[in-house]
């Protein structure tokens, strides 16, 4: 049988496993084993599995993931997110949609130490949603704004998705981190603009909160955790950007920084420390198995030559690169409806990356930012929409359809940013080109 036909059948088998509710990591792993075994031989498939499993779990490059992940969980369990929201609430809570705007600002700042969309939504949501509901905010706006704000956790560095993308494409993680700064700030401002516009248009959605005094604001700033975030961000990521640390060393410095700060200031209990370690281990096991399964599946797809044939076919299309890239993004958006963001990236990047970079000539760092945005759109759209389900867990009495209904204005903001990046790629590439030679 033709290898390309085997590859297409492999995709059908993979989606069949997904429909049977098999974990995505196992679906990719088993499909890869069957495919490689069918094309070559079973013993070859088992050797590939052994090599990829060992290579993934012993990879120095991937050791950066548990370090930044632990840093995020330390920040979560120490209550830094809560204190950040308190300060933002005191500073701008009196504006139209002020509490929802404060949630976006807090998500952006917390994302600078979290690196996780789910952790950002869970942390800020558990604090912001009760406050917004107490002040009479529309539940659709309150829940959707926090679910969408979680995306800032993977766009603003550090970002688990940027790390995984950098490892599988062999691009500089430092450059990817820097490339997310300007788009992250822009998306934050777009979210704030969306909230301000819809609440000015319909004030009943977000009644004005009481204006805090300057004394209350200064007290909130003093105890808000902003100084800790700045210290961790500057020392860890600043050291990475200027070349003092490797990505792994930057993760170690960041995790150690948060640990020392929270212990010295007595913000982290022994039980919270154990919980942060436990959740980090759970998360890393999931990510590592996903990467290992994707690597085996990727080896199978490479043997079938599907990525190379796809590149050749696209190169022969009588269409400009901009149109072809738009079609690829449409495929990502559609697949994002039914797949987890990390799994989507691990599955599709090995297929589309050679086409986008080598055939169409787009910048690989720019493509990384685009990937984060389209994957981010997937975590707030039905039926998967993992961030929405996280928020549903925080506000169980709010119907899912109400949360998804409120998502649309924020989804439009993401689409607008993607279009801007398509038209002006320098939005993502300017800082990396300026700072990293």
Confidence category of residue 226, pLDDT binned at 50, 70, 90: low
Q: pLDDT digits over 13-55, tens only?
A: 888 887 888 887 888 889 989 988 888 888 888 888 888 888 8
Of the candidate ranges 107-116, 254-263, 272-281, the one whose mean pLDDT is the lowest = 107-116
Q: pLDDT digits over 48-82, tens only?
A: 888 888 887 887 777 777 887 788 788 778 777 77
User: How remote is the C-alpha of 170 from its chain's centroid?
Assistant: 19
Instruction: Establish how many alpha carbons lie within 13 A of residue 393's alpha carbon, considering only the half-sphere containing its beta carbon.
Output: 10
Mean pLDDT of 172-179: 89
Confidence category of residue 423, pLDDT binned at 50, 70, 90: very high
Joined together, the tokens standing for residue 107 give 């998500």
351-359: list long-range contacts, CB under 8 Å, 24+ apart.
Answer: 351/301, 351/306, 351/307, 351/310, 352/307, 352/310, 352/328, 353/169, 354/307, 354/308, 354/311, 355/307, 355/310, 355/311, 355/314, 355/328, 356/325, 356/328, 358/311, 359/311, 359/314, 359/315
Q: pLDDT digits over 320-378, tens only?
A: 888 888 888 888 877 777 666 777 787 788 888 888 888 888 999 999 999 889 888 88
Examine the pLDDT at 111 and tell me if it is beyond 60. Answer: yes
Confidence category of residue 191, pLDDT binned at 50, 70, 90: very high
DSSP character at residue 116: -
What CA–CA distance (Å, rounded) separates 49 from 295?
9
- Three-state DSSP state, 315: helix
Which residue is associated with the tokens 């801007």? Answer: 420
Contacts of 303 (CB under 8 A, 6+ apart): 3, 35, 36, 39, 40
Q: What was the pLDDT predicted at 408?
A: 92
Comparison of pLDDT for 75 and 418, the residue scoring more = 418
- Three-state DSSP state, 434: helix
CA distances from 48 to 7, 101, 300, 359, 413 (A): 17, 49, 10, 29, 42
Sign of CA dihedral 222, 105, 198, 138: negative
Q: pLDDT digits over 345-356, tens only?
A: 877 888 888 888
Mean pLDDT of 231-260: 80
What CA–CA distance (Å, rounded) separates 313 from 20?
32
Examine the pLDDT at 177 and tell me if it is beyond 60. Answer: yes
Cβ atoms 6, 38 nearer than 8 A? yes
Q: What was the pLDDT predicted at 422?
A: 92
Q: What was the pLDDT predicted at 117?
A: 80
> How many helices and strands in the chain, by DSSP H and E?
24, 0
Residues comprising the chain, all counted: 437
**What region does 361 belong to: left with phi over 0, alpha with psi -120 to 50, or beta?**
left
Examine the pLDDT at 172 and tell me if it is beyond 80. Answer: yes
pTM confidence score:
0.80
What CA–CA distance (Å, rounded) separates 244 from 291?
28
* Mean of pLDDT over the chain: 83
First-last CA distance in the chain: 48
Mean pLDDT of 380-390: 78
Examine the pLDDT at 293 and tell me if it is beyond 80. Answer: yes
Cβ atoms 140, 403 nearer than 8 A? yes
Examine the pLDDT at 316 and tell me if it is beyond 80. Answer: no
Mean pLDDT of 133-150: 89
Q: What was the pLDDT predicted at 224?
A: 56
């Amino acid at each position: 049988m033709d290898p390309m036909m085997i590859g297409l059948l492999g995709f059908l088998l993979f989606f069949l496993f997904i429909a049977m509710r098999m974990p995505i990591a196992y679906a990719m792993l088993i499909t890869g084993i069957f495919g490689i075994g069918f094309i070559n031989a079973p013993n070859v498939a088992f050797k590939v599995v052994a090599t990829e499993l060992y290579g993934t779990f012993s990879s120095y490059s991937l050791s950066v993931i548990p370090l930044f992940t632990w840093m995020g969980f330390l920040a979560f369990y120490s209550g830094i997110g809560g204190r950040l929201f308190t300060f933002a609430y005191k500073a701008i809570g009196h504006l139209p949609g002020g509490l929802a705007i404060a949630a976006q600002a807090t998500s952006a700042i917390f994302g600078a130490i979290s690196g996780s969309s789910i952790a950002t939504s869970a942390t800020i949501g558990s604090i912001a949603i009760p406050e917004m509901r107490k002040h009479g905010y529309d539940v659709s706006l309150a829940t959707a704004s926090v679910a969408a704000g979680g995306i800032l956790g993977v766009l603003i560095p550090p970002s688990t998705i940027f790390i995984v993308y950098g490892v599988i494409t062999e691009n500089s993680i430092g450059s990817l981190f820097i490339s997310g700064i300007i788009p992250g700030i822009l998306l934050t401002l777009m979210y704030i603009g969306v909230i301000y516009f819809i609440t000015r248009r319909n004030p009943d959605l977000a009644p004005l909160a009481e204006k805090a005094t300057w004394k209350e604001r200064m007290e909130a700033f003093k105890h808000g955790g902003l100084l800790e975030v700045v210290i961790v961000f500057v020392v860890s990521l600043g050291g990475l950007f200027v070349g003092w640390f490797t990505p792994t060393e930057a993760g170690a410095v960041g995790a150690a920084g948060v640990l020392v700060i929270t212990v010295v200031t007595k913000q982290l209990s022994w039980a919270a420390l154990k919980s942060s370690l436990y959740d980090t281990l759970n998360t890393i096991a999931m990510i590592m198995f996903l990467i290992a399964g994707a690597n085996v599946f990727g080896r199978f797809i490479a043997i079938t030559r599907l990525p190379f044939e796809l590149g050749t076919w696209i190169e022969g299309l009588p269409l400009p690169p901009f149109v072809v890239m738009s079609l690829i993004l449409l495929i990502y958006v559609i697949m994002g409806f039914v797949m987890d963001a990390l799994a989507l990236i691990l599955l599709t990047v090995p297929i589309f990356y050679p086409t986008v970079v080598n055939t169409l000539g787009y910048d690989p760092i720019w493509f990384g930012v685009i990937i984060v945005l389209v994957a981010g759109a997937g975590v707030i759209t039905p039926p998967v929409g993992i961030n929405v389900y996280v928020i549903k867990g925080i506000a169980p009495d709010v119907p899912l359809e109400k949360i998804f209904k409120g998502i649309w204005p924020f989804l439009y903001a993401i689409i607008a940013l993607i279009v801007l990046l398509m038209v002006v790629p320098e939005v993502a590439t300017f800082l990396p080109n300026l700072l990293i030679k």
